Homo-oligomer: A and B are copies of this chain.
Amino acid sequence: MRLLLVNPNTSASITDLVVSAAREFAAPGTTIAGATGRFGARYIATRAAAAVAAHATLDAYAEHARGADVVVLACFGDPGLAGLKELAHQPVVGMAEAACYYAATLGRRFGIVTGGARWGPMLEEFVRSIGLSERLAGIKTVAPSGADIARDPERAHAMLVDASNALVEECEADSVILGGAGLARIAARIAERVSVPLIDSVGAAVKAAEALGNLGPSKARVGSFAQTPAVETVGLAAALAARMEGR
Flag if B40 contacts A225 (CB, 8 Å). Answer: no
Copies, count = 6
Is A220 in contact with chain B by the CB < 8 A criterion?
yes
Q: CB of A76 within 8 A of chain B?
A: no
Of chain B, the residue at the smallest CB distance from A232 is: B42
CB contacts (< 8 Å) of A214 on chain B: these are: 25, 27, 203, 207
> Judging by beta carbons under 8 Å apart, are A231 and B49 in contact?
yes
User: Quick one: given A47-B228, A125-B108, A235-B40, are A222 and B207 in contact (CB under 8 Å)?
Assistant: no
Question: Is A221 part of the contact surface with B, judged by Cβ < 8 Å?
Answer: yes
Q: How far is the CA of A112 from the CA of B43 in the complex (A)?
A: 35
15 contacts between A and B (CB under 8 A): A10-B234, A40-B233, A47-B225, A55-B56, A97-B105, A98-B105, A102-B211, A107-B220, A107-B225, A122-B224, A125-B129, A131-B133, A174-B220, A203-B215, A207-B214
